Structure 1
Amino acid sequence: MTITTSAPAAASDPESPVTGDRASRRIHWKVIQRGLWIGKRDGEFAGMIESTTNGTFAAMTSLGEQLGNFGTVDAAKQSFAA
């Protein structure tokens, strides 16, 4: 007698390179006011970036975790991917 099983289901993690659609997990940024960007991922608040008085851009996650100060807005946005 031969027993066969189907392959295990792929991981349900949306970041998984096997099944996840990374494009849908991207953060979409919107300028709320001068010097303030709000990011949303899948419609949920993901974090914010704020320009500082010394010319850097401070990034903070949705949980209030400081990611650091960056020289450009793009560098601050990239800090969310790490």
Structure 2
Amino acid sequence: MPECQNLAGCSFFNDRMANMPVTAEMIKRKICKGDNTVCARYMVSKAVGKEHVPANLIPNQLERVEEIIAAVKEAENS
């Protein structure tokens, strides 16, 4: 699978986890440069747009995806 199309602007890939370089590199290799369809950031981006991806969302935080998408959709319907 090719690299994620969101890499250039992804704050996780470019800025996050400087204090945990080994963990960050493992996530980047497995998800960002591997199967980005299992990336929480990618899922939110595809569902409701890049502008709604929280800066603190880590690619493996799948448990937050539905909550974020639901909150965005609720706000749009208000």
TM-score, length basis structure 1: 0.22
- Larger helix percent: 2
- Larger strand percent: 1
TM-score, length basis structure 2: 0.23
Higher relative contact order (CA 8 A, sep 6+): 2
Q: Look at both structures and tell me which one has the larger radius of gyration over its CA atoms.
A: 1
